[in-house]
Structure 1
């Protein structure tokens, strides 16, 4: 049996992993608001019952496991949804109905959050071989069937080339690679891509976050995936922040899974 966690140590552990729980929750729901609400519920439950964090598993696994208990329970309680579903979320619900249950969760835990397969199994409360199969199925299902035009805002040529290769391999079309805020806003206005990959720090010292704000002023439901070496700065839950975020250095699998999830929740994406 695990020992009761020390409160001070527990707070420190939660603070360390909470930004990534928010990232995972946002990717699952397709929404900062709904994702952060689930993360907040997780904290409230832990504060009410510290024994939920008992165990020998790493702290991150224990935290995500508590989250999963709340996530699964909430599926049977639609009346507790924190906000009315938007158009993208309604479309996503229809798409969700066609997917293998729990495959998306397994994929995001393994690929986006980089848990070992044993950790995925522990968080989800399933056998490791089942977790492995769900990851495989999730990648296959979520990456298929969507088509989009993508703008890659990245000032480092090699990274931009890597991103373009991954995006193209997924069956999407790259419409351009602006390197500054002004170039990004101008190209977006003329091309209206269905998806934007946005580096935070751009070539002339301008901000990708500012470019995104400019774009979202005109098209509030535009899917934008942020790419940054400092994810914690955009996962505070204290202001408007991205629903989808990739950490540098990234893997090809992370890019593929995040792009597919962003489009999955987008009313602007169309079947291939």
Structure 2
């Protein structure tokens, strides 16, 4: 059991896992604002009753399990599309098998074991495996589009290109610097931007993306070695975030999820 007698001990353990719940809820909803609302709601439930943490599970498992109880009862259907783009995403998501995206994100982005996903979602291991397989199949068949890659490392850029094209998407090009990214965006507008945080000329991928988003409204996936620094919840932050070093399945999952959302909250300023 977690030793939760000292208030600071429990709070510190919980705080350490919050950035990852934020990452997950944002990827699940396609929005920083929407995702963070669920994170806050989860914390409010925990503040009222911590009995669900009185077990031998890791803190992160209990935190995500608490969120999923809320999500399962109130959030999965996206019942409030607020514009045509969000409505399109809602329509696509409503056709997917229930709980399949959740299982896929928990496995690929958050890297939970099958056994821990089963605990979080309150299903058995075989059901988790079925949901992940189903999600991969359904997502790969649903949306194809154009992807711009902003990455200064040639090997990583080549890996990302292979992953994206294998999913059936077209790559508009690879930019190594802020200047190249803006020029590439002028040549052909993408449906999705996949961007590293640090670029070859010591410029910021975030700044490049923000300048691109002044001209277009597309989802963005950021890649960073320090995701917790971009998941504090106290400023505009990305809805889609991959940790470096990444696995192929993480990129596949993030790209497939992001393609469902034609607009997303991202870093501005």
Partner residue, 1:23 = 23
After TM superposition, what 4+ stretches of structure 1 lie above 2 angstroms from structure 2?
2-7, 75-79, 84-89
Partner residue, 2:65 = 65
Q: Deviations over 1:174-220 (max 9, x none)?
A: 1111111111112112211111100000000000011111112222x
- Counterpart Cα distance in 2 of 1:237 and 1:265: 20
1:201 aligns to 2:198 (yes or no): yes
- Match of 2:213, SS state, is helix
Deviation at 1:5, TM superposition (A): 2.5
Partner residue, 2:99 = 102
Partner residue, 1:164 = 161
- Counterpart Cα distance in 2 of 1:175 and 1:143: 19
1:237 pairs, out of 233, 236, 239, with 233
Partner residue, 2:267 = none
- Counterpart Cα distance in 2 of 1:237 and 1:267: 19
Deviation at 1:55, TM superposition (A): 1.4
What residue ranges of structure 2 are gaps of 5+ in the alignment?
265-269
Partner residue, 2:4 = 5
TM-score in terms of structure 1 length: 0.91
2:148 pairs, out of 144, 147, 151, with 151
- Counterpart Cα distance in 1 of 2:202 and 2:15: 30
- Match of 1:213, SS state, is helix
Partner residue, 1:263 = 259
Partner residue, 1:128 = 125
Aligned length: 263
Q: Deviations over 1:129-149 (max 9, x none)?
A: 111111111111112232211
What residue ranges of structure 1 are gaps of 5+ in the alignment?
none
- Match of 1:171, SS state, is coil
- Counterpart Cα distance in 1 of 2:24 and 2:230: 13
Taking a change above 3 Å as real, the CA distance of residues 76 and 182 of structure 1, as seen in their structure-2 partners, is closer
Is the contact made by 2:77 and 2:94 (CA closer than 8 Å) also made in structure 1? no
For 1:24-103, what aligned pairs fall within 5 Å after superposition?
24-75=24-75, 85-103=82-100
1:210 aligns to 2:207 (yes or no): yes
TM-score in terms of structure 2 length: 0.92
Deviation at 1:100, TM superposition (A): 0.7
Deviation at 1:240, TM superposition (A): 0.9
Query: Root-mean-square deviation (CA), in Å?
Result: 1.9
